[in-house]
Amino acid sequence: MKKVAVIALGGNALLRGDQAGTIDEQEQNTTDTLENLVHLIREGYELVITHGNGPQVGNILMRNDAGEMIYKIPQMPLDICVADSQGGIGYMIERMLRNVLKKHNIDKEIVTLVTQVLVENDDPAFQEPTKRVGKIYSGEEADKIAGEKGWIFKEDKKRADGWRRVVPSPKPVGIMNERVVETLVRQGTIVIAAGGGGIPVYIDEEQRVRPSEAVIDKDSASSLLASQINADEFYILTDVSYVYINYGTPQEEKKEFLNYNDTVKYLEQGMFGEGDMAPKIHACLDFIKRGGRKSVITEAFKLEDKSYGTKITMEYED
């Protein structure tokens, strides 16, 4: 049976920090990244692709704000904005990937699935929102909007008197339609799913699916999806080639191979930045703990070169 790999696109895979974010830039970045997946397909892997949506959903939220302020267009809730970004980014990835496969004479079907991800409505994250979304407001603007809409704001250090809306980031507990994803990928279809961490939803007392005003960590949702479809390997593509311990110190050391226990030890010692590498490490460890064979964190454009990247397994491989 062919191996299944879940590939989480992030970092500079779709949009780089120094770019304006035009569609031409995003399409070129996406194409460059997808070129690096061709060797996995040639090696017999079946692929599920997930992706981030941070800059894109932020732009959607700002368009929301502008539309309401200037044209009195009613704002859409956060779950709809996440769904919008999933559809748009998924379409872009699918179209670019079709062109890449045609270039390499590879005949495979591709499908984009707008994915709902289950969270618990009583997750502690709802009591302490931390995820910044949308535009930066002045203190006066933030106070006014908080009074009108009940939004929660926290100071943003990027600008003096800058405040941004914060929303909860609950833990994903289930992927809706995961059986569809597994069936399709094992039939040979490349599936694009769980974009931006998925659209967060919960089940209410009457067993109805309800939207949640939250965002889900993309790598955590991707890890869970990988486990639920019984994937063999889980890849996080980012903007660094390796994971380091003692990063930025004279004792800095890159780690090409890590086992589960050593990675947990380094995590507990604070070796990985909480807002940067730590969430990726948690996602990789969760996948391994749930039975996955290998997690890999590597640079988006170095995937084909197997000498790059940090590989995490339960035990050190021979």
Instruction: Give catalytic status of residue 280 as yes or no.
Output: yes
- Tell me which of 10, 11, 197, 292 is the catalytic residue: 11
For this structure, is 131 an active site residue? yes
What is the full DSSP assignment across 111-160? Answer: EE---EEE--TT-GGGGS--EEEEEEEEHHHHHHHHHHH--EEEE-TTST
Spot the catalytic one: 12, 29, 36, 53. 12
Q: Residue 74 and residue 262: Cα distance in Å, rounded? A: 51
Which residue from 278, 317, 318 is spatially nearest to 297, judged by alpha carbons? 278
Q: Counting Cβ atoms within 10 Å, is residue 5 exposed (0-12), middle (13-18) or buried (19+)?
A: buried
Per the CB < 8 A criterion, the answer to whether 30 and 13 are in contact is: yes
Q: Specify whether 12 is catalytic.
A: yes
Of these residues, 54, 134, 280, 311, which one is catalytic?
A: 280
Amino acid at 295: S
- Please state, as a whole number, how many other Cβ atoms lie within 10 Å of the Cβ of residue 206: 6
Token code pair at residue 221 = 């949702």
Which residue in 36, 58, 196, 218 is the catalytic one?
Answer: 218
Catalytic residue among 36, 53, 90, 131: 131
Q: CA separation (Å) from 248 to 200, 231, 273, 297?
A: 36, 34, 11, 19
Give, in order, the Cα–Cα distances in Å from 90 to each of 190, 194, 294. Answer: 12, 10, 26
Query: Please, are residues 136 and 162 in contact by the beta-carbon 8 Å criterion?
Result: yes
Q: Which two tokens stand for residue 314?
A: 């339960």
Burial (CB count within 10 angstroms: exposed 0-12, middle 13-18, buried 19+), residue 94:
middle
**Residues taking part in catalysis:** 11-12, 131, 218, 280
